[in-house]
């Protein structure tokens, strides 16, 4: 019953220890190269005048990713950003990447990554600026669809390649997406971003 | 007794009966579930001083009697629990703290009352500059 959240909404979320102190805030989310899970966060200081921090937060040190804060045990959870540097920061590669199927259908471009909160850090899908053939409904809503990540995604260059049947799982309804992301079982999910 | 009732109560040294000031806030020791310290504002410069709970002789209905006025070591950080944001350990907000019910004789915390729930002291994990962290369900 972990809540789904958009990775872009994690920016500026405070990083809070279990002792209740806010030590930093999220600047960017880092994913692994297959875009399957969060591997960590780049951090910035709290407040207007504080710049980026040298420290990052590896996912292994996250106690829980919540709706209002990223919880960590204590300050020692923060590690040098060098640990995270090899992976893909959100802004760098995943956003704007093209989503294709194996048979060559263009689904669109990634607007945002939908992740599961709590302790899993799993990427459950993508919010996509849809290509023309997936754009249905009234004009002002039609460009935005959700695609579950599924199990078999491959990364080729700047494109995320899904199995051919992924076209049937494209939806513009967040509730339907939450059910799809869950394997269709319909386990109760929190509200979508 | 409530934290909000103690606020503003005069603090008097038991030897000499000189008034030290008035109580501005009580601090919570989340590890033991007791009142940790008493913050007092008073004197000619209206400075805030900290007294350990053990230095109190009694917490009467009209005045707070203190035995010694030595400052405790180390001085605790000033985080007022009243009005503090409440976060569950999962990272979700659960309202703000309205008041704290405690036993005036022993300093034991009985309940933390928030805008949404009431928390027993064994659910409290920590109180910091950002929030009071609680263990939910």
Q: Are A170 and A96 found together in one domain?
A: yes
CA B64/CA B51 separation, integer angstroms:
12
Q: Are A75 and A129 found together in one domain?
A: no
Residues 48-87 of A with CB under 8 A from B: 63-71
**What pLDDT was estimated at residue A80?**
66
Q: Is A67 helix (H, G, I), strand (E, B) or coil?
A: coil
The beta-carbon neighbor of A14 closest among B92, B130, B132 is: B130
B92 interfacial to chain A (CB closer than 8 Å): yes
Q: Are A98 and A171 found together in one domain?
A: yes
Each domain of chain B, given as residue ranges in start order, spans 3-66, 85-134
Question: In which domain, by residue range, is A18 found?
Answer: 4-90
**pLDDT tens per residue across all 193 residues of chain A:** 578 999 999 998 999 999 999 999 998 898 888 888 898 998 888 876 777 777 789 999 999 999 999 999 988 878 766 666 666 666 667 888 899 999 988 888 999 999 999 998 899 999 998 887 776 666 655 578 889 988 888 888 888 999 888 888 888 888 888 887 775 444 444 455 5
Residue B13: pLDDT band (50, 70, 90) is confident
**What pLDDT was estimated at residue A9?**
92
The pLDDT of B13-19, averaged and rounded, is: 76
CA B27/CA B127 separation, integer angstroms:
9
**What pLDDT was estimated at residue A187?**
43
| Element spanning A179, H or E | helix A174-181
Question: Domain B85-134 falls in which CATH fold?
Answer: SH3 type barrels. (2.30.30)
Q: Are A48 and A120 found together in one domain?
A: no
Could you read off the pLDDT of B64-111 as tens digits, one per residue?
888 877 777 777 777 889 999 999 999 999 999 999 999 988 999 999
DSSP state of A118: B
CA B124/CA B111 separation, integer angstroms:
10
Q: Which long-range contacts (CB under 8 A, 24 or more apart) does B44-49 make?
A: B46/B21, B48/B24, B49/B20, B49/B21
Q: Do B90 and A18 touch (CB under 8 A)?
A: no
Q: Do B91 and A21 touch (CB under 8 A)?
A: no
The pLDDT of B32-57, averaged and rounded, is: 85
CATH at A120: 2.30.30.240
**What pLDDT was estimated at residue A173?**
82
Q: How far is B92 from chain A (nearest CA, A)?
A: 5
**What pLDDT was estimated at residue B66?**
87
Residues of A in contact with B87 (CB under 8 A): 16, 20, 66, 68-69, 71
Domain count across chain A: 2
**What pLDDT was estimated at residue B73?**
72
Q: Do B93 and A14 touch (CB under 8 A)?
A: no
Same fold, B3-66 and B85-134: yes
CA B111/CA B119 separation, integer angstroms:
6
B90 interfacial to chain A (CB closer than 8 Å): yes
**What pLDDT was estimated at residue A175?**
83
**What pLDDT was estimated at residue A189?**
45
Residues of B in contact with A68 (CB under 8 A): 87, 91-93
A34 interfacial to chain B (CB closer than 8 Å): no
Tell which residue, A172, A175, A161, has the closest CA to residue A129.
A172
Q: Are A84 and A102 found together in one domain?
A: no
Instruction: Choose the mutation target among A1, A13, A17, A20 for the interface with B, i.e. most B CBs under 10 Å.
Output: A20
- Concatenating the DSSP letter of every residue in B69-98 gives -PPPSSPPP----TT-EEEETTS-EEEEEE
Q: Are A157 and A176 found together in one domain?
A: yes
Let me know if residue A107 belongs to a domain: yes
Residues of A in contact with B130 (CB under 8 A): 14, 16, 20-22, 69
Has the ipTM of the complex gone over 0.90?
A: no
Q: Are A97 and A82 found together in one domain?
A: no
Question: Domain B3-66 falls in which CATH fold?
Answer: SH3 type barrels. (2.30.30)
Give the CA distances from residue A58 to residues A40, A43, A55, A62, B129, in Å, rounded to whole numbers and listed in that order. Answer: 4, 11, 10, 7, 23
């Amino acid at each position: 019953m972990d809540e789904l959240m958009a990775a872009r909404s994690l920016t500026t979320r405070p990083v809070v220890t279990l002792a209740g102190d806010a030590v930093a805030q999220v600047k960017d989310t880092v994913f692994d190269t297959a875009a399957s899970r969060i591997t960590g966060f780049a951090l910035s200081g709290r407040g207007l005048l504080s710049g980026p921090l040298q420290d990052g937060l590896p996912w292994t040190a996250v106690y829980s990713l919540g709706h209002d804060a990223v919880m960590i045990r204590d300050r020692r959870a923060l590690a040098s950003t060098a640990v995270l540097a090899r992976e893909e920061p959100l802004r760098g590669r995943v956003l704007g990447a093209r989503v294709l199927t194996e048979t060559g259908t263009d689904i669109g471009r990634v607007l945002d990554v939908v992740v599961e909160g709590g302790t899993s850090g799993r990427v459950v899908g993508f919010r996509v600026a849809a290509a023309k053939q997936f754009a249905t409904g009234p004009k002002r809503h039609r460009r935005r669809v959700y695609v579950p990540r599924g199990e078999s995604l491959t990364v080729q260059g700047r494109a995320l390649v899904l199995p051919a049947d992924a076209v049937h799982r494209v939806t513009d309804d967040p509730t339907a997406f939450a059910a799809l992301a869950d394997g269709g079982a319909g386990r109760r999910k929190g509200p979508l971003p | 007794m409530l934290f909000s009732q103690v606020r503003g109560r005069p603090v008097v040294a038991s030897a000499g009966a000189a008034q030290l000031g008035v109580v501005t806030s009580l601090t919570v020791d989340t590890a033991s579930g007791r009142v940790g310290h008493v913050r007092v504002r008073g004197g000619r410069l209206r400075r805030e001083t900290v007294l350990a709970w053990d230095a109190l002789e009694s917490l009467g209905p009209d005045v707070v009697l203190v035995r010694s006025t030595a400052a405790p070591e180390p001085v605790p950080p000033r985080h007022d629990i009243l009005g503090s944001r409440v976060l569950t350990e999962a990272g979700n907000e659960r309202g703000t703290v309205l008041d704290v019910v405690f036993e005036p004789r022993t300093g034991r915390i009985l309940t933390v009352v928030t805008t949404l729930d009431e928390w027993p002291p064994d659910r409290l994990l920590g109180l910091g500059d950002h929030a009071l962290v609680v263990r939910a369900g």
